[in-house]
Structure formats: C-alpha cells, structure tokens
A and B are shown apart, each in its own frame.
Chain A
C-alpha cells in the first residue's frame, strides 16, 4: 500500500512535469528494487518517456499503424505461450488480466485500487514471462484508448465559454498524464522487456500520448477551439489584461509534448503577432512622438522576450522577435528618421539616440539608413551655420560646438561606429566648402584672436586643446591657401606689434599646420619667425656698431627686416620724415646693405612705432605711439595751432590714414591734442593744438591707433592675392610636370595637376593656364596629335 501512496503523491502536481517525475519514479529506490531493473541506463529510460525527441516521432507513426491490426500478433503469441508454459492454470491469462484491468480502470476513474502494487507488478511480470506480453500490451492499449475516447464528448458541446473550455482541456490533459504515470509504473516490466525488445512498439507513455493526440488534440473542432482560445488569451495578455499564465503555459507545453505546437499553433500565432504589430506600428507612428515610439518598441520587445520565458516554446523565439522587429521597426525606419532624427540631434537627446541606435542595429539596413540621415542632418544644419553672412561673427564658435556635440553623440550613442565617424567627416567637408573662402578666413581670424596677447580666457593647456579642435575644422577646408593668406596677415601683425600672447603657442600652431599640410605650406610662416630672429641679431650688431662709432646718438633705432616673399604684401607708402629720422634710417640702411650685398630695402612706414617723451605742465610722460602718430606730434615742436591741411602737407600721410591718426590723438581716451571745433570726427577745417595740460595717472601711455575697419576692399585684396598666387602655382605645377614627363596627353596632365594642387580649381581654369604657357613658349601642342603637349626646353 505504501507503494500506491508514494506514486500518487508524485503525480499529484499535474501533467506538466510528467517527464521529470517519471524519471524520479523510475529511478526511485522502491521502484528499482521491485522491478529489478537497476542495470538500465538512464538514457534508455529517458528516451522511453520523452516526447520531445524527434526520432521518437517516426517510431510513433510506425507503431500506430501496426497497432491498428492487432489480430495477427495476438494469435502468434498465444500459441507460443501455450507451447512453452503448459503447466499454468487454464484461465490464468484471463484472471490475471481482469485483475490488472480492474486496477487500470480504478486509476482512470480515480478510485482506490483493490490490489497491492506488489501483487500487480508480479502479475505483469508473470504474464510477460509466459509470453503473454504482446497480448497484454494490446489489451492495455485498448483500455487506454477507450478511456481517452470517453473524454472527447465534453469538448464537443455546441457553445462553451473559451476560458471554461481551456480549463477543461487542461484538466483532462493533466489527468491523462497523471494516470499514465501510474499505469506505467504498474506495467513497468512490460515497458522494459517487451517494448524494449520490439523497436516498433511504443513505450506505454508514448502510447498514451499518441492516443491523446489522435483522438483529442487532432480532432479538428477541439484543436481549433484550443488554439483559438490560446490566441485570444495571448491577445488579451498583450493588451494588458491579467490572464492565467499557468494555464497558457500548461496548454502550450501540452501542444509541444504532443508534437503539434508548430503545426497547430505557431503559424497562427505568428500571423496574429504580425497583424497586431502591423496595426499597432502604423497607429503609434501617427500618435506618438519618436522618443515615445522608440520606448514603446523597446517595451514590446522586452515583453515578447518575457513571453518566451514564461509560456511560449523557445523554438518560436527567432521568428517571434523577428516579426515584432519587422512590423514595429523595419516598416518604419525612414518614417522614424525623417520624423524624429532632427529633433533628437538638436536636443541632443542622448538616451533616445542610443535607443534609436540599438533598435536600428537589430534590423536590416537600419544603421545604413540612420547613417545616411545623420549625414544629411549634418549637411543641412552645417550649411545654415556657414552660409548666412549674419552668422559670420559666431560661425567658428558654432562650428566647434556643433562638432563637439556630434562627437559626443557618435561616441556615447553610436558606439563610436567607424561608419558614422567617416560619414560625419564627409558631411563636414561637404558643407564647410559650400561657402567659398569665408570659413577659411574666419577660422584664421579665430586663431588670431586666441593667439593674441590679452586673451586671458584660457590656460596654456586649454589653448592647446582649442587649437587642436580648430585644426579639425581646418582639415575640412579645401582652400587652405585662403586660410594661409589671412593667417599670415594676422601673424605679421602679432609679430611686428609685439602682440603675440606666447611664442610657444605660436610655434605649436605652426607645427600643427606643418603636420597637417606639410612643410611647403608653412615654410613662409616659418620664414617670418626666422626673420624676427635674424632682426634681433642685426639690431644687436647695429647697436655695437653705433657705440663704437659714436655717430647717430639720440634716439634708439631698431628695425625688423622682412624677407619680401614671406610676409603679406604691404603697399609702399611714402611719408615725409623729420631730418633726424631720415638720418637714422639712412645710417641703418648703409650698415645693413654693407653686410648684405645685392639687396635693397623698402621702408614700411605704416608698420613702424615709437616711444615718445612728452612734456606736459603736470609732468613728463612716455607715449607709445605708431610712427604716424609720432610724425603728427613732432610737428607741434615748431608750431602750435595747425590745420588739418598743414599737417597733411607736412607729413604727406594719406588723407584717410591721417584722419584716423588725428582722431586717435584728439578724440580718443588720451587726448594729447586739442581739436577745434570739438567733435568726434575730423573735418578738413579743423585745427589742432598741443594739449599742454594733459593729465593721466599713468607714466607710460599707449595711444591706440584707430584701426581701419577691415573693409570689403581689403578683404577682396587678400582674396585677389590668393587667386594670383593660385595662378602662379598652377603655372609652376604645369611646368614641373611637363619638364619631368616631356610629353603628356591633356587628360593625363589634368589628372596629374589635380593630384598636385592643394586648392579647388576648375578644369576650365587649368586649360586657360595651359594656353597661357603655350603662348609663352613653355610648352607646345604636338603637331600630329592636338591632344598632346610637349615640353619646350
């Protein structure tokens, strides 16, 4: 009796874990002791009970068909039995079977079994030993089949609540499993001898499953009701209703165990999934903003994964997730991007962008599309930064900020994906060259501002980092010569007026440019620094020369000697210098030219500056002024009330320049001249007098020359010089190539030139230069082939 109690405890929990449990009961001490099958490997035991092994499937079908005609088998066995064991009681088989039959029916109807399990085991073993196994198996099959058939009716009634139906189905399945486990344990000897020796015969457990599948699960009406019920339940659960998850799980396991999960359920389930998310995707794309939509998709994917964990068969995973991705993502890739990318990037909403990236990386072409929209966004936004002249003041700062923001997005949201980095560079290069020359000019000016003395906003490390960032922008510029022209002009100012913040920073910037563009690009800039050093040496030797000869005392003259080709071109300005200055100037020139024969010097009056001693009634001051300011002030040693015209004649300073000079002396912060009549602007009729009562708390006073606003003409002049220089470089490149190749076709020459020239140029311009060189006899058109050029030595 204890055996019965034990078995019923084991199966009480339900059909779901029948496989596990059957192993336990088969290997439990009592069971193995009684049935003496200790030598059976656990593998064999398992394969007997498991329905998930596909190999078993084939066997099932074979045996099912063989069981349909049991008559022949029965006869054969009966005859054999009588031959081998003639000494059994005459009705032994009949009485024994009726005992077993009674027990099975008791199990099927949940009644107490009248015999001890010991007795039943023994009965089975005896029958098997007396060659009655085959008949026993057939009898048992019939008994189980009859019971399974008796269960059909309850599922066929006209109308039934779906929930009730599913519950009933689950109960029926669990009862079947429970009963089959008990039956199997009674007939274990049969399972382990007769069934094992006949590969075409099902194990008792499999025979039960087979009958259940055949009569109940494969019944069209029952199957439709079951599957539809399950789908409705899942639909409600997806909609947010709380449903009986364990019921779902149990029934889906039933389908799996019966091997009809895929055929009967999975296909319909995936179709339902597809329909649901197709409609949901379309609706939510209309209703939700992109970040909310993405969050929803993430949530849906998470939920479906949980569904797989909680009740779906794992084999559905790939198709299910793929279906959700297709309907919620693939279908809406370009919709999501064109609706939402711009505002996500503008934010920038980093977390949403990271979500976008990780979701799109799941679907085919998702990242490709994202990348191309990203690229288009950069080009569009970047263009607005560079294209509008009103934004010129902030262009470089905005570009730096934009770049930093994009870098941040790519590294924190797009996993530093190379494709995106490359695309970003391509986009920058594209939009920054949408506007000719201006970005290059403004980048140069931005650098000037940062390298100029008085820029206190940065420590040296900060400045260094900033210059590195600038270099990134610089890299995208096609017209690097435009940058160079403006950079050079500003560098000249910084060097000559002593306005450079730090030599180290200047040199560092120079080496960055050299690294980026090569030595050819920076050799003139380096030449400027070299001139500064050479000038320092020259001034030292000049001073020694002066002290030795004791000529030219009084003022102290030092001169920056510039090599013509390195520096920006300065217009030659002739002004009238007082005799003392002329004498010093000539003296220096004589000294210099004696050391450097074959040269001539051109004085650049606009670039000179002086320190003056000025005597006011309140005390003496030192004035730091430009040469022009000095020339004007010196005039007041000899006269007191000078008209604009007087000053103009005496100094020969150009009118506009003179007006600004007088304005700085008489209308600025430090008014060492007095103007009558008073007023901000200098008129032709104005008169000027020395302001003897000038006061200032400082001893050294710097009087800033009023800078001419960089007019568009001056700008044009710089651009024009760049243009001229390009013509010259094209000529030089053509001659260089032709000299080397001697003869070359037009197309080859053009492509060589494109390789060599570092600035944007149109083929038509190249053609013009070629014509010009032919005119000047540097090269000629081949007499036989007009498409070929020959070098003229």
Chain B
C-alpha cells in the first residue's frame, strides 16, 4: 500500500424528510423554524400525521388547541401523530 487514510473529516448537511417545502400552517420553509422559534433543529422539530402531512410541532400543537375538532388543517382527516 502506497497510501492509507489516517483520518477523514467529512461534511454533511441535514434536512427534514418532508413531503413539502413549506409548513402548511405558518408557510415558512421547513429548512427554517416556525415563527416562534429562532433556529431550526431539535428545538423546533417536525411532526408527521397519520395522514402523512407534516408541520412544525409548535404550529400543529397551536392549531389543534385552537380547533374544536382535532383535524389535519390540510386534509381535514382526524389528526393522529405518526411516530416515525
């Protein structure tokens, strides 16, 4: 062997696995956080519904609190959290 690798510093970018670019509630892109947060990441995670729509967790929680029925704002199906 003429050359072997001693160490490797890699770089990777992460983004949410989402079915849309923007949150359907706050309309901010998923690459940034909800309007109430400062930085995207673990402090402002996304959640998925059984209907497969996803939102900022802060957005859907607020939405559900404001509604008499627990429905997905996009498809009006009953909202159930899908723990991926």
Contacts and interface: CB of A to CB of B under 8 A. Distances in A.
Contacts of A627: 8, 10
A interface SS class = mixed
B9 interface: yes
A563 interface: yes
Contacts of A603: 10-12
Given A523-B38, A598-B16, A614-B3, A560 B45 contact: no
A270 interface: no
Given A596-B14, A600-B14, A613-B3, 20 more contacts: A523-B39, A555-B4, A557-B7, A557-B10, A558-B10, A560-B11, A563-B13, A563-B41, A564-B13, A565-B31, A570-B13, A598-B45, A599-B16, A600-B16, A603-B10, A604-B12, A613-B6, A627-B10, A633-B2, A637-B3
Interface in B1-47: 1-17, 27-29, 31-32, 38-42, 45-46
A555 to B, nearest CB: 4
Contact of A735 (B4, B27, B29): B27
Contacts of B17: 598-600
A295 interface: no
Interface stretch (A56-64, A304-312, A355-363, A577-585): A577-585
A596 B41 CA distance: 9
B84 interface: yes
Contacts of B79: none
Interface of B: 1-17, 27-29, 31-32, 38-42, 45-46, 48, 84
Nearest to B17: A600
A735 B25 CA distance: 13
A91 B71 CA distance: 143
B5 A614 contact: no
A37 interface: no
Nearest 3 pairs of A and B residues by beta carbon = A607-B11, A565-B31, A556-B7
A4 interface: no
Contact of B9 (A523, A592, A609): A609
10 contacts: A555-B5, A559-B11, A560-B9, A564-B15, A597-B84, A598-B17, A599-B16, A602-B14, A612-B4, A630-B8
Nearest to B47: A598
A602 to B, nearest CB: 5
A555 B7 contact: yes
Contact of A565 (B12, B32, B45): B32
Contact of A567 (B6, B13, B27, B84): B13
A720 interface: no
A642 interface: no
A534 B40 CA distance: 13
- Residue of B4, B7, B13 contacting most chain A CB atoms (<10 Å): B13
Contacts of B13: 561-564, 567, 570, 601-602, 604
A622 interface: yes
Contact of A561 (B5, B8, B14): B14
Contacts of A527: 39-40
Interface in A653-691: 690
Contact of A610 (B9, B11, B12, B28): B9
A642 to B, nearest CB: 13
Nearest to A633: B3
Contacts, number: 143
A778 to B, nearest CB: 8
Contacts of B8: 555-558, 581, 584, 608-610, 627, 630
A611 B7 contact: yes
Given A561-B14, A563-B14, A556 B32 contact: no
A562 B12 CA distance: 6
A530 interface: yes
A220 to B, nearest CB: 94
B27 to A, nearest CB: 7
B7 A610 contact: yes
Interface in A526-565: 526-527, 530, 534, 554-565
Nearest to B83: A597
B39 to A, nearest CB: 5
A76 interface: no
A610 B5 contact: yes
A565 B32 CA distance: 6
A257 B17 CA distance: 105
Contacts of B1: 615, 637
A558 B14 contact: no
B6 A611 contact: yes
B6 A637 contact: no
Nearest to B29: A565
B49 to A, nearest CB: 13
A523 B37 CA distance: 11
A612 B11 contact: no
A517 interface: no
A692 interface: yes
A496 B40 contact: no
Nearest to B6: A611
Contacts of A608: 8-11
Given A565-B40, A598-B46, A630 B14 contact: no
Nearest to B5: A555
Contacts of A601: 12-14
Contacts of A614: 2-3
Nearest to B7: A556
Contacts of A472: none
A281 B48 CA distance: 86
B8 to A, nearest CB: 5
A589 B13 CA distance: 11
A602 B3 contact: no
Given A614-B2, A637-B1, A692-B2, A598 B48 contact: yes
Contact of A613 (B4, B46, B48): B4
A611 B5 CA distance: 6
Contacts of B7: 555-558, 610-611
A121 interface: no
Contact of A560 (B5, B12, B32): B12
**Interface core residue of B2, B6, B28, B45 (most chain A CB under 10 Å):** B2
Interface string A616-631: 0000001100010010
Interface in A336-381: none
A563 B6 contact: no
B57 to A, nearest CB: 10
